[in-house]
């Protein structure tokens, strides 16, 4: 799974949590008006890379509602998005502590009230995180097992609130990726192709959902890119950026879909904007993602016969030093940058 696919799944999990609060008892009111308002702000802050602000709001929920899994899970979700955004996993232990606490509280609430959909939802979403990390480590079989358990739990949540369209995102995304990757698993030889069904379920969230709107957009953008449906992906990208200008979630999608369509100038502008966002003084920066941007810009300039600029950006990509865990991921980009430099040196195009 690529970094951007993983990033999409991470964002989907974050927003998957936020569907309409219906059929809640007074005793187990997981999402009163105060929590809903805080959660909506957490979403907006996370999509726009305001991670510290989002975590502060999560802690506010934790302090006011210490026995509710919401605050802990949302803070884990924000940490996950941040780690993927910067390719820095220093907060991984904290992330798992928060997720473990959310799981414990969710199971406790299921025992108290098995008719409430929310505890099932938090438990299912927690299992989705386990599946995500197995996927990231390329343990596909375990990822599908955890993913299956996650979906079955989410379906129990949906049974308790069938009017909820936002939850279709998680189930639809699982159906799509299970169908797509099942060919790699000999243990799953008879998985039927549900990719189109998954796409339609995500569409339902975009059209009728409430809180998961932006996550569904992001998920479907990358699915359409993978399927070669570039015009549809492009339409969703511009729809998303009209609401969240400057969001790296959607700028990555814009850069990719314009690159695929050979709209070189627009793709280059998107990569430049992503690069500039990481280099702002108040941003933590990401050496890995900056390297990716430099390489893609070098490739675009090479394809448009701007050889000096191509060599310049290729050199910048190769000058970035990365820690060992990221070097394997970076190899394909470094090799591309080296090829560009070697090609231009042969024809005298290097600066």
Where are the domains positioned within the chain? Answer: 3-227
More confident residue, 114 or 21: 114
pLDDT digits (tens, 9 = 90+) for 1-16: 454 454 454 545 554 4
- What fold is seen in the domain 3-227? 1.25.40
Label residue 186 by pLDDT band (50, 70, 90).
low
At residue 22, the pLDDT reads 40
Asked if the model's pLDDT at residue 175 lies above 50, the reply is yes
Contact of 221 with 228, CB cutoff 8 Å: no
Contact of 220 with 16, CB cutoff 8 Å: no
CB atoms closer than 10 angstroms to residue 52: 10
More confident residue, 62 or 168: 62
At residue 311, the pLDDT reads 98
At residue 36, the pLDDT reads 84
More confident residue, 86 or 282: 86
What DSSP string describes 98-129? HHHHHHHHHHHHHHH-TT-HHHHHHHHHHHHH
Give the mean model confidence (pLDDT) for residues 326-345.
96
Among 78-87, 112-121, 221-230, 306-315, name the one with the lowest average pLDDT: 112-121
> Above pLDDT 70, what percent of the chain?
87
Label residue 32 by pLDDT band (50, 70, 90).
confident
Long-range CB contacts (within 8 A, 24+) of 185-193: 185/140, 185/141, 185/144, 187/141, 188/141, 188/144
């Amino acid at each position: 799974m690529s970094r951007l696919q993983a990033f999409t799944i991470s964002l989907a999990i974050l927003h998957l949590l936020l569907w309409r609060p219906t059929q809640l008892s007074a005793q187990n009111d997981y999402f009163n008006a105060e929590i809903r308002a805080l959660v909506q702000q957490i979403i907006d802050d996370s999509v726009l890379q305001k991670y510290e602000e989002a975590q502060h709001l999560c802690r506010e929920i934790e302090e006011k509602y210490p026995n509710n899994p919401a605050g802990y899970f949302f803070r884990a979700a924000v940490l996950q998005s941040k780690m993927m955004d910067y390719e820095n996993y220093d907060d991984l232990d904290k992330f798992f502590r928060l997720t473990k606490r959310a799981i414990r509280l969710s199971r406790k609430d299921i025992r108290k009230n098995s008719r409430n959909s929310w505890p099932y939802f938090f438990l299912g979403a927690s299992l989705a995180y386990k599946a995500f990390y197995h996927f990231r480590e390329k343990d596909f079989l375990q990822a599908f097992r955890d993913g299956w358990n996650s979906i079955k739990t989410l379906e129990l949540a949906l049974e308790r609130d069938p009017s909820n369209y936002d939850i279709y995102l998680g189930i639809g995304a699982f159906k799509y990726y299970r169908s797509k990757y099942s060919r790699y698993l000999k243990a799953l030889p008879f998985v039927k192709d549900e990719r189109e069904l998954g796409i339609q379920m995500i569409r339902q969230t975009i059209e009728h959902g409430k809180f998961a709107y932006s996550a569904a957009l992001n998920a479907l953008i990358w699915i359409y890119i993978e399927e070669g449906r570039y015009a549809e992906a492009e339409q969703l990208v511009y729809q998303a950026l009209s609401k969240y200008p400057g969001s790296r979630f959607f700028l990555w999608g814009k850069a990719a879909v314009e690159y695929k369509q050979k709209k070189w100038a627009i793709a280059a502008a998107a990569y430049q904007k992503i690069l500039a966002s990481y280099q702002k003084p108040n941003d933590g920066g990401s050496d890995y993602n900056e390297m990716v941007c430099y390489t893609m810009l070098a490739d675009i300039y090479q394809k448009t016969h701007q050889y000096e600029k191509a060599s310049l950006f290729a050199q910048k990509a190769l000058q970035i030093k990365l820690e060992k865990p990221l070097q394997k991921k970076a190899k394909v980009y470094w090799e591309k940058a080296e090829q560009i430099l070697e090609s231009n040196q042969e024809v005298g195009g290097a600066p």
